[in-house]
Amino acid sequence: MNLLEKLESGKRLSYEDGVALWELDLFTLGKYANKKRKALYQNKAFFNINRHINPTNICKDICKFCAFSANRKNPNPYTMTHEEILKILDESITHNITEVHIVSAHNQDAGLDWYMGIFRKIKERFPALHVKALTAAEINFLATQYNMSYEQIIEMMIKSGVDSLPGGGAEIFDEKVREYICKGKVSSKQWMEIHDIWHKHGKKSNATMLFGHVEKREHRVDHMIRLRDQQDKSGGFNAFIPLVYQRGNNYLHVEDFLSSVEILKTYAISRLMLDNIPHIKAYWATSTINLALIAQEFGADDLDGTIEKESIQSAAGAKSSGGLQLQTFLDLIQTSGFAPVQRDSLYNEIKTY
Ligand code: V47
């Protein structure tokens, strides 16, 4: 069976197929990816009303791609108090957010109780708010710092009110690329192990892939296959999120920006390879909202959300720092020919516009 016949039949694609997909033109890839996306979700484009909070930027690790953590290039260290975080949410809750997304840094001075206290206090004040917090990189940091097992940290997180895990820290699983871009942080194997444990608790998580830096197309396919294998085992990934690398203000020094064709191909191939992860999120903060909307015709079905304040990608140059107003979001989705569907964090539909 050749590649096109395999795509026609919907059969599972191998690593070699995945590599060969890149040689197809964008519109052929788009045709097959869109067919899959439409069969699952018709013309729905999912989004949520959410708030991102990054409670500290003080980090013991130096990832070359990161412009968010406080370092020579960004000498602006901060650590929020619990009261400051609650105050932000007092305001955001009036915008009907259903989720708070919390990604921090690896702060050695903050203390385990500072991390867990954030979730406990949020749940005390806003019991219905979904808390999506702590990447596998942060969990690995906390386990190492406080000499605890992943299981112990995860049990504490669940007790403190964390509902799901964001997909960060995955970067690129290939060990050589990983060593070059983020030496010393959670390994690929550990990242997977942490999500495996999380899923065994019956909980959901996401998985990201940082692309468009020094990795090759083969590394992206390898990344997807590793996630697909894990999903076959534990089944807890809700969404795959390809994050377009932002070049500003960091130590990777990548000159070339990916073409839109390459970015759209990456979304389409994600949909085709990841036959067992339900949602492909075009995270507009890294792709721009314009391309994220076009990506809805190339396999993606989700746009993340209104965000309100974005600090990680905008530190590296993305134009995402102020989030998007709900009405703007809705207008853009509708004028692109899609039906905006507000979802909760577990993809239950809340409202169709
Ligand atoms: O893992 C850091 C990325 C991630 C850059 O689960 C960069 O719904 C682009 O976890 N260019 C953290 N990306 C963000 C994250 C996330 C984001 C959106 C949705 C979800 C979700 C999770 O931010 C890190 C890293 O890959 N990042 N620097 C940069 N220069």
CB-based contacts of 248: which residues, under 8 Å, 6+ apart? 67, 315, 316, 317
The span from the CA of 79 to the CA of 200, in Å, is 32
> Which residue is closest in CA terms to ligand 1's atom 21?
166
Q: Check residue 103 and report its DSSP letter.
A: -
What is the number of the ligand 1 atom nearest to the C-alpha of 250? 30
Classified as helix, coil or strand, 99 is strand
Give the side-chain half-sphere CA count within 13 A for 238: 22
Instruction: Write down the pTM of the prediction.
Output: 0.98
Cα 285-206-184 angle, rounded to 5 deg: 85
Ligand 1 atom closest to the Cα of residue 246 is: 11
Beta pairing class for 99-102 and 50-53: parallel
Reported confidence tier of residue 257, pLDDT bands at 50, 70, 90: confident
Residue 264 reports pLDDT greater than 90: yes
CATH 3.20.20.70 fits 14-341, yes or no: yes
What pLDDT, on a 0 to 100 scale, did the predictor assign at position 75?
84
Mean pLDDT of the chain: 96
Helix (H, G, I), strand (E, B) or coil at 54: coil
For ligand 1, the distance from its centroid to the CA atom of residue 132, given in whole angstroms, is 14
- Report pLDDT for 215: 97
* 51-66 pLDDT, tens digit each: 999 999 999 999 999 9
Q: If you measure from the C-alpha of residue 331 to the centroid of ligand 1, how many angstroms do you get, rounded to a whole number?
A: 26
CA of 218 to the centre of ligand 1 (A): 21
Q: With beta carbons less than 8 A apart as the criterion, state whether 182 and 142 touch.
A: no
pLDDT above 90 (res 113): yes
Ligand 1 nearest atom to the CA of residue 248, by list position: 30
Q: Which two tokens stand for residue 4?
A: 């096109």
